[in-house]
Amino acid sequence: MFGKIRFWRECMLVDLLIMYASASRCLSAPMERTDIIFQNQSISDGQTLISERKNFVLGFFSPGASSYRYVGIWHKQNDVSERRVVWVANRNNPMKDKGILKFDNSSNLIVLDGSGTSFTVAYGVGVQDLEAAILDNGNFVLRSITNKDNIVWQSFDFPTNTWLPEMNITIGTKLLTSWKSSDDPAVGDYSFGPGITNASQLIIWWQGHTFWTSGGWDGDVNALIPELKSISTIPLYFHCDNLTCTYTPNPDSRFTKFVLDPNGSLNIAQFDPDAQSWTLLWRHPASCEVSNLCGVFGICNNNNILPSLPPCRCPEGFAEQEQNNSRKGCTRKIPLQCNGDKFIDMPGMRLPGNREKLSVMGDDECQSACMMSCSCTAYAVLDGCSLWYGGLTNLQEGNNGSGVGTLYLRVASISSSGHKILWVAGVLPSVAFLIFCLILFIWIRRSKNKGKGKQDGHHSLMTTDTIKLWESEETGSQFTMFSFSQITNATDKFSTENKLGEGGFGPVYKGNLPDGKEIAVKRLAANSGQGLPEFKNEILLIAKLQHSNLVGLLGCCIEGEEMLLVYEYMPNKSLDFFLFEKSRRALLDWEMRMNIIEGVAQGLIYLHKHSRLRIIHRDLKASNILLDTDMNPKISDFGMARIFDPKGTQANTKRVVGTYGYMAPEYAMAGIFSVKSDVFSYGVLLLEIVSGMKNAGSQRRGNSLSLLGYAWELWNEGRCHELIDKSLHGRCPLSLALRCIHVSLLCVQEQAADRPFMTEVLSMVTNENATLPDPKQPGFLSLLVSNRTDITEETCSLNGLSITNLDGR
Ligand SMILES: *[C@@H]1O[C@H](CO)[C@@H](O)[C@H](O)[C@H]1NC(C)=O
Ligand SMILES: *[C@@H]1O[C@H](CO)[C@@H](O)[C@H](O)[C@H]1NC(C)=O
Ligand SMILES: *[C@@H]1O[C@H](CO)[C@@H](O)[C@H](O)[C@H]1NC(C)=O
Ligand SMILES: *[C@@H]1O[C@H](CO)[C@@H](O)[C@H](O)[C@H]1NC(C)=O
Ligand SMILES: *[C@@H]1O[C@H](CO)[C@@H](O)[C@H](O)[C@H]1NC(C)=O
Ligand SMILES: *[C@@H]1O[C@H](CO)[C@@H](O)[C@H](O)[C@H]1NC(C)=O
Ligand SMILES: *[C@@H]1O[C@H](CO)[C@@H](O)[C@H](O)[C@H]1NC(C)=O
Ligand SMILES: *[C@@H]1O[C@H](CO)[C@@H](O)[C@H](O)[C@H]1NC(C)=O
């Protein structure tokens, strides 16, 4: 049987070479051109490429006052007087001195500076007959010389701050991102593109938070920005589908561009051929009207909105929450004392919304009404008495007109010498209180459960664990106990429009806190009892875990039967949303996939090793990998996770929970779990990311019903390259993709001891020089193949199985 399986892994490279060779049939001798470089050519600083009809130029430049050198594209018109760069190749990797743009010997296009530091602009994927060309629409492409339609790479797939006609911008993946400043083209705070919850709208985000929303796309070519209709000749038409938007100028030869400024202002400009200059058609102003621009207690001044001058300041007695970034809001230098407070007057303020209005009262009555409640933070007397509670947002000064008056803001009346003592006095008890609450909560729930009998057969966490947990990690997490009414307000009474989806233990809603922060709320089904251990578990485990690849738990709410978990909001949903749907999968380019592969590995390493408590996730899968605005992965759903004794190496549970297709064999069959069971799940995930296929699907592939079986089959026949996702269209470094498949097979080996640790996995994936052992047969082949639940029966035949046996099924 095994004789049939040949080991000719080396052959696949030969296969590919033959494929490409047959594609390059007849080479025609190209003429001397200014828009193209071949692999044997390069452009050095001072030289340029100019598109055929002289619309666009590619060359080296230094932005503003910077002395760094960048490779970019700009309009040929007004090249000298007002050069505006529309694309930058090495925006985050500036060159210190004059450099060169050339191909390396693997057909990748690189920029190389004098010191020999290089940056890869475009992967040529080993294609032999490549040329790089600047097109008349501003797109810089790497394409086959013989078949110019075979575009291997294009700059339009990597937008910077400018949207040109014919360029697609796409949900989550191809967004405009602002420059940091006019001197620094590195990725800034703002991004722009179609929104994911309502694909038919264009959104500007500031650090992932919605900053401006366009009109909705309803088929009307100008519905997105209706103001354009009031221009005598409608200057452009939008075209959007569920994922992507593009536009055509009117008349369609007119140069047009959308530019996202470093201050978040979006400009649409068109070139006037008569005046030989750019006309600004429309601008979304960065103004104080933008919700929450200056954060909690920050004051926005409309007269100060300039890129160089932050529009925000803090009131007297407050300090910027983060240095040089007043938009993070302001915090009190001294906390409120309740009984020892005073009010400062702030004249000329536009009074914020969210107020409580009392019937007409004098100044003094209004002041004492506010003083009487410890949570009242401000009052104003203008058409009656208005009171504000909690953090104030959208404070504005520098306005005239209605709604402007004097705001009286509550501050502590003592001097700041008592500051430190007060801080300790204020913070320590609240931490202690939180710990106390949690212990009490667990204790109450436990005594409640005693009568019903234990629901969680293997009790996961002891009170001592809790204390250990709270003490182990650094303080600084901002875990909040929310009240149920805060949550109902934030989610608009759990309205269906705000529903994001249905998790295992209840629905998830999107919400907005009064300070503008977007949240996701998981509402555990009331009375289900089923979610209780998971709820407890999740709070205890992740509240104190802080890592950029773990989803942040902001707080929770326990009121009566209601149990809610509050997370940071992830605008790009989860990995399965992209990975297992054809059109969306095509949006995941190789860089994004590598970023996800590495990010998830980093998150797991943190859980397994670097958090003070070792944690095993136990339910790692594509739908538990959430994606933020920049498509960075965050591991979520810690309902099944377990704290793990660092001295032992494995633990045992009677209650096997997890997801078929991702579960390690020893765990699914015997309930034994260890960090190596997470490694198994990671291996499955890795294979899914590279192949774009679902492991546990029912689709038959090759002789196998599962992806693991199929991968093993291809591995043994040296045909692993067939596994690489077709929707990448070969736009990935082949050796790296094959390396990922190899590593994934190492992760899913049957014996837990054979599988590498996550730290080893990460270095295998990232280090091109690491030598990898040959994988042994993946675990669980039979179960994955049959997709049945009768595990024990299958186990018996597991060892006797071989791939060819499966043929007859
Ligand atoms: C460079 O490559 C092009 C296309 O492959 C070829 O036509 C040209 O002759 C080469 N030039 C030199 C100097 O080798
Ligand atoms: C090709 O690149 C590799 C590594 O980048 C280098 O070691 C090798 O010398 C290069 N070959 C040629 C012919 O330049
Ligand atoms: C833009 O998207 C459309 C389909 O959505 C596609 O046909 C076209 O090639 C894309 N254009 C570019 C430049 O990628
Ligand atoms: C999406 O946009 C359309 C058009 O403006 C609007 O009718 C619809 O209510 C929006 N949907 C959501 C969920 O906001
Ligand atoms: C776009 O979305 C609509 C409504 O959600 C759906 O009916 C349609 O099939 C989608 N079109 C594509 C191309 O996905
Ligand atoms: C934002 O910055 C641009 C220059 O980068 C400037 O022209 C514009 O006026 C600024 N926007 C506002 C609203 O001040
Ligand atoms: C922060 O701002 C101060 C003055 O406003 C400046 O001196 C300092 O260099 C800035 N720090 C950073 C990190 O930009
Ligand atoms: C507001 O009114 C004051 C005095 O009436 C005037 O000096 C100032 O220019 C006005 N500001 C704005 C922004 O209109």
Residue 242 lies in a domain: yes
Ligand 6, residue 287: give the atom nearest the CA: 13
DSSP E strands in 601-656: the ranges are 614-616, 625-627, 633-635, 642-644, 651-652
Q: Which of 698, 646, 714 is nearest to 674 (CA)?
A: 646
Per-residue burial over 633-667, b if 16 or more Cβ lie within 10 Å, else e, is bbbbbbbbbbbbeeeeebbebeeeebbbbbbbbbb
388 and 486 both lie in a single domain = no
- The predicted structure's pLDDT at residue 22: 36
* Nearest ligand atom owner, CA of 200: 4
Pocket (CB within 6 angstroms of ligand 1):
29, 38, 40
772 and 651 both lie in a single domain = yes
Residue 773 lies in a domain: yes
Question: Please, which residues bridge with residue 346 across strands?
Answer: 407
751 and 772 both lie in a single domain = yes
Question: Which residue in 184, 619, 628, 725 is the catalytic one?
Answer: 619
Contact 510, 569 (CB under 8 A): yes
Interval between CA 596 and ligand 1 midpoint (Å): 39
Instruction: Tell me the CA distances in angstroms from 117 to 66, 110, 649, one per residue in order.
Output: 19, 10, 44
Interval between CA 94 and ligand 2 midpoint (Å): 24
Question: Please, which residues bridge with residue 203 across strands?
Answer: 193, 213
Q: What are phi and psi of 200, to 5 degrees?
A: -90, 20
Contact 66, 120 (CB under 8 A): no
- The predicted structure's pLDDT at residue 804: 25
DSSP secondary structure code for residue 367 in this structure: H
Residue 285 lies in a domain: no
Residue 178 lies in a domain: yes
- The predicted structure's pLDDT at residue 701: 72
Residue 3 lies in a domain: no
Domain count of the fold of the chain: 4
Range of the domain at 737: 575-803
Q: Which residue, judged by its Cα, is nearest atom 14 of ligand 5?
A: 242
Using DSSP, state whether 86 is helix, strand or coil.
strand
- Here the tokens at position 604 are 């797991």
430 Cβ closer than 6 Å to some ligand 7 atom: no
Contact 524, 505 (CB under 8 A): yes
Distance of alpha carbon 599 from alpha carbon 620, whole angstroms: 13
Alpha-helical (H) ranges within 555-607 are 575-579, 582-585, 590-605
67 Cβ closer than 6 Å to some ligand 7 atom: no
Q: What value does the CA radius of gyration of the chain take, rounded to a whole number of Å?
A: 30
Q: Which residue, judged by its Cα, is nearest atom 11 of ligand 7?
A: 324
Q: Which residue, judged by its Cα, is nearest atom 9 of ligand 8?
A: 400
92 and 228 both lie in a single domain = yes
Interval between CA 242 and ligand 5 midpoint (Å): 6
214 Cβ closer than 6 Å to some ligand 4 atom: no
Residue 283 lies in a domain: no
Interval between CA 176 and ligand 6 midpoint (Å): 17
Mutate to test the pocket of ligand 8, among 400, 402, 404 (most ligand atoms within 8 A of CB): 400
Q: What is the largest CA-CA distance in the chain?
A: 96
- Here the tokens at position 10 are 């080396």
What is the full DSSP assignment across 144-178?
ESS-TT-EEEEGGGS--SEE-TT--EETTTB-EEE
Using DSSP, state whether 181 is helix, strand or coil.
strand
Interval between CA 405 and ligand 6 midpoint (Å): 28
Please count the other Cβ atoms lying within 10 Å of the Cβ belonging to residue 308: 9
401 Cβ closer than 6 Å to some ligand 8 atom: no
558 and 587 both lie in a single domain = no
Pocket (CB within 6 angstroms of ligand 5):
241-242
Q: Describe the crossing of helices 532-542 and 419-452 by its angle, rounded to 10 degrees.
A: 160
Distance of alpha carbon 776 from alpha carbon 683, whole angstroms: 13
- Collect the ranges in the chain with pLDDT lower than 50: 1-31, 306-308, 324-326, 416-437, 439-440, 442-476, 530, 783-809
67 Cβ closer than 6 Å to some ligand 8 atom: no
Residue 614 lies in a domain: yes
233 Cβ closer than 6 Å to some ligand 8 atom: no
100 and 216 both lie in a single domain = yes
548 and 579 both lie in a single domain = no
Mutate to test the pocket of ligand 3, among 154, 155, 156, 246 (most ligand atoms within 8 A of CB): 246
Task: State the Cα angle at 384 between 517 and 297, rounded to 5°.
Answer: 25
233 and 268 both lie in a single domain = yes
610 and 718 both lie in a single domain = yes
Mutate to test the pocket of ligand 6, among 84, 85, 192, 261 (most ligand atoms within 8 A of CB): 261
Establish how many alpha carbons lie within 13 A of residue 367's alpha carbon, considering only the half-sphere containing its beta carbon: 13
CATH assignment of the domain containing 553: 3.30.200.20
- Here the tokens at position 345 are 């007057």
601 and 670 both lie in a single domain = yes
306 Cβ closer than 6 Å to some ligand 6 atom: yes
Q: Which residue, judged by its Cα, is nearest atom 4 of ligand 1?
A: 38
698 and 554 both lie in a single domain = no
Distance of alpha carbon 776 from alpha carbon 712, whole angstroms: 9
Residue 431 lies in a domain: no
Amino acid at 627: L
583 and 670 both lie in a single domain = yes
Helix (H) or strand (E) holding 8: none
Interval between CA 104 and ligand 2 midpoint (Å): 8
610's CB contacts (< 8 A; 6+ apart) are none
Per-residue burial over 78-92, b if 16 or more Cβ lie within 10 Å, else e, is eeeeeeebbbbbbbe
Distance of alpha carbon 391 from alpha carbon 387, whole angstroms: 12
Tell me, rounded to whole angstroms, the distance of Cα 32 from its chain centroid. Answer: 45
Q: Which of 786, 582, 626 is nearest to 696 (CA)?
A: 786
Distance of alpha carbon 388 from alpha carbon 430, whole angstroms: 23
Per-residue pLDDT of 78-114, as tens digits, reads 666 667 899 999 999 999 999 999 998 888 899 998 8
Mutate to test the pocket of ligand 4, among 171, 198, 202, 499 (most ligand atoms within 8 A of CB): 198
pTM assigned to the model: 0.59
* Nearest ligand atom owner, CA of 584: 5
Residue 790: active-site member: no
Helix (H) or strand (E) holding 510: strand 506-512
CATH assignment of the domain containing 745: 1.10.510.10
